[in-house]
Structure 1
Amino acid sequence: MIMPMRFDLDEFIRKLTDAGVPQRQAEAHAAALADVLEANPVATKADLVLLKAEILAEVQQMFDALYRRINRMFAVMMLLHLITLAKLFWPA
């Protein structure tokens, strides 16, 4: 589930003011950062695990389809080889 990132506004403001930023400016920075973090949600670890599972399932499906296609091509190649051998050794 994608969630907005949360952070401690008061702690952020305190760190800015401790570094010499005026209180009003620190509050404005904190409010702006809170708006950005709220508007741009981040993926959680569970989101990434789910995405990984979906990608792996899709890759497995593609691999299975490729494997079936290669097997069909091999069967056709063997059949053509047998026909060629039959024509060489058992002429009509």
Structure 2
Amino acid sequence: MTMPIKFDTLEYTRNLMEAGVPAADAEAHANALSTAMAEASVSPSELVLLRTDVLARIEMLRAAMDAKIEALRTAMDAKIELLQTSMDAKIDALRASMDAKIEKLSISMDAKIDALRADMDTKFAFLNAKIDGLRADMDTKIASLNARIDALRTKFTPIYVMLGLSLALHAINLVKLFS
């Protein structure tokens, strides 16, 4: 069912003749154009069918694109998950390696500190023994000096007594002289 396009051949012929086209040629042009337009016209049902077909193709294309996007999203999610798992494994391995190195360093440092402490304890013990030896030596020398002082005191006691008596006698003599 074709719907012819409205076409006024008489008006068209007149326009051509006014433009200088001979009447026979103008009529032939008008008839040929009228026939061509009548055969090339599209019916409304054909337009509806064409519209339905185009919409169906668009919907199919949309569904195909949605499927491709979803497949891409799934693939990317899988790759991201794989990368995250790989990175987590590398981080865990690095953490374990660093923990082992820190533990090894800690043991090494503890051993060095213990060795240094033992060395310092030995040196302190040596110094304490030396100090104790010096203290004993000094105590011996002090005791010796105290003994000598006591001996000198014993020697000077009669001199003190004599000096005291001499002073007393001098005092008595002075009192007698001045009295």
Q: TM-score, normalised by structure 1?
A: 0.61
Q: Displacement of 1:81 after TM fit?
A: 0.6
Larger C-alpha radius of gyration, 1 or 2?
2
Which structure 2 segments of 5+ residues have no match? Answer: 12-22, 94-179
1 or 2 for the larger relative contact order (CA 8 Å, sep ≥6)?
1
- When residues 87 and 65 of structure 1 are mapped into structure 2, their CA distance, relative to the original with a 3 A threshold, is same
- Aligned counterpart, 2:58: 59
- When residues 83 and 45 of structure 1 are mapped into structure 2, their CA distance, relative to the original with a 3 A threshold, is same
- Aligned counterpart, 1:70: 69
Report how many aligned residue pairs link the two structures: 79
* CA distance, structure 2, for counterparts of residue 73 and residue 64 of structure 1: 14
- Aligned counterpart, 2:88: 89
- Tell whether the 8 Å contact from 2:3 to 2:43 is kept in structure 1 after alignment: no
- When residues 36 and 90 of structure 1 are mapped into structure 2, their CA distance, relative to the original with a 3 A threshold, is closer
- Aligned counterpart, 1:44: 43
Query: Hey, which of these two has a bigger chunk of helix by percent?
Result: 2
Seq. identity, %: 18
- Tell whether the 8 Å contact from 2:3 to 2:41 is kept in structure 1 after alignment: yes
Q: Which runs of 4+ in 1 moved over 4 A?
A: none
- Tell whether the 8 Å contact from 2:5 to 2:41 is kept in structure 1 after alignment: no
Which structure 1 segments of 5+ residues have no match? Answer: 16-24
Q: TM-score, normalised by structure 2?
A: 0.35
* CA distance, structure 2, for counterparts of residue 52 and residue 58 of structure 1: 10
* CA distance, structure 2, for counterparts of residue 55 and residue 6 of structure 1: 24
